[in-house]
Amino acid sequence: MFHLNVYDNYGKRIDLMTIADSLEYIDGRVWKGKKHYYKGVGVPYNGHYSLQTIDSDYEIREHSGIFYLGNLVYKKQFKDKVGVFTERYQPQFSDYIGACGVKELDIIHNSVEFERSSVDVYDLNNFFQNPNQYYLMLDYKCKRVPYSKDSNPRHLYDLLEYMIMSDFNFIWDKNVITDISHRGLVTDVADIFKSKALKHKVGTIYSVMYSLSKYSIKAFQDFIDYADLKNDNGLDLTLNVIPLLKRFDVNVDSLIKDNVWNTYVNMTDNFLIEGKNCGDCSFVGLGDEIRKEYHERFHPHK
C-alpha cells in the first residue's frame, strides 16, 4: 500500500490517501507501481520555484536564469517530507508541488491523438479541489528511457518530421528534450498542441534543438551531423530551423530576409517569441506578459 500525504504551506499534513499498490519513486512527479506508473502522487521535497519576496521560511538555492521562474527555493517546513505540498511548483503553472494541475489533463486526449506518444492513460483521480489537483495512472511504451541515455538522431529526426507534417507542436521555451525518449517518443504530451501556424512550427524545432544543445553537446552534434546542418555560430541554432522546415514541405519564404542577421532577427522577433510559451498553458494573460518581456530582452535598447 502507498500513502499519499498532502501538506499545507506550513508543512502540516491535511490529508492522507491510500493507493492499493506498492510504489517506487522514479523522478519528477512519477512513481512506478507493480503494473503501472503514477504521475502526481507526490515527490520527495527538494525545492520549488518562486517569484515572491523570500522570508525566513525559505532558503534561496539558486537563481533560475529564467525571468518568469524566479529563484529555486527550499522551504524549511517541507524538509524531509514526501507528498503533495499546497504551493505551486512553478509560478506560471497551477500544479501544486508533486501534483498535476488542470493543464496536465491534456495528457489524456493527446496520448490518443498523438501517434508518437509514449503514454497510455488508465485512470485519473481528482484528489484535491480548489484548485483542482490530480494524479494519473499510466504506462510508458518506452519505459521512460530518456533520449540522453541512448540518443539516436534518426529517431529524433523522425519525431520532428511527424510533428511538423501532422501539425503537432511543442511550446518553444520548454526544456522538451527531457520529455523525449530514446525511441523518439514523447513521455509528457500535456503541452503538445495542434496548429498549422508557421510560428509554432518554428518554435517546435527550435525547442528541441535548443534544449538538446543544453542537455548534451555530443547528442546535439550527432543530430547536426545526421541532419546535415550547420553549427558554426550561435545564430545557427535558430537558422537551422529553415532547412528542416523546407525538407518537411513547409513554405519558409516569410522567414527569410536580405541577409543572415536580418533573417535571424525576423525569425526570433516575429515567429519564435510570438509563438506559444509556457505562460500560455495556464493563467489567462500570462503568456502575453512573458511574450512582452521576451521582446524587451531581445531588444534591450529600444
**155-193 residue pLDDT tens:** 999 999 999 999 999 999 989 999 999 999 999 999 999
**Pair 264, 222 in one domain:** yes
Q: Which of 140, 167, 186 is the last residue of a domain?
A: 140
Residue 146 lies in a domain: no
**Pair 127, 234 in one domain:** no
pLDDT greater at residue 286 or residue 229: 229
Residue 145 lies in a domain: no
**Pair 244, 293 in one domain:** yes
**Pair 79, 208 in one domain:** no
Q: Which of 140, 174, 191 is the last residue of a domain?
A: 140
CA angle 240, 245, 249 (to 5 degrees): 155
pLDDT of residue 281: 84
**Pair 121, 228 in one domain:** no
**Does residue 118 surpass a pLDDT of 90?**
yes
pLDDT greater at residue 281 or residue 209: 209
**Pair 125, 174 in one domain:** no
**238-272 residue pLDDT tens:** 999 999 999 999 999 999 999 999 999 999 999 99
**Does residue 20 surpass a pLDDT of 70?**
yes
Mean pLDDT of 115-122: 97
Residue 27 — φ and ψ, nearest 5°?
A: -170, 170
Residue 74 lies in a domain: yes
**Does residue 54 surpass a pLDDT of 80?**
no
Q: For residue 219, what pLDDT band results from cuts at 50, 70 and 90?
A: very high
Strands (E), the chain: 2-7, 13-19, 24-27, 30-32, 37-39, 43-44, 48-50, 58-63, 71-75, 82-88, 96-97, 119-128, 133-140, 168-169, 193-194
User: If you write DSSP's letter for every residue of 99-120 in order, what string do you get?
Assistant: SB-GGGGHHHHHHHH-TTB-EE
**Pair 120, 171 in one domain:** no
**Does residue 301 surpass a pLDDT of 60?**
no
Provide the domain limits for residue 97. Answer: 2-140
**Pair 183, 276 in one domain:** yes
Q: Which of 140, 175, 190 is the last residue of a domain?
A: 140
**Pair 79, 176 in one domain:** no
**Pair 136, 217 in one domain:** no
Residue 217 lies in a domain: yes
Count of structural domains, the chain: 2
* Per-residue cell: 203: 518554435
How far apart are alpha carbons 12 and 21 in whole angstroms?
Answer: 25
Residue 147 lies in a domain: no
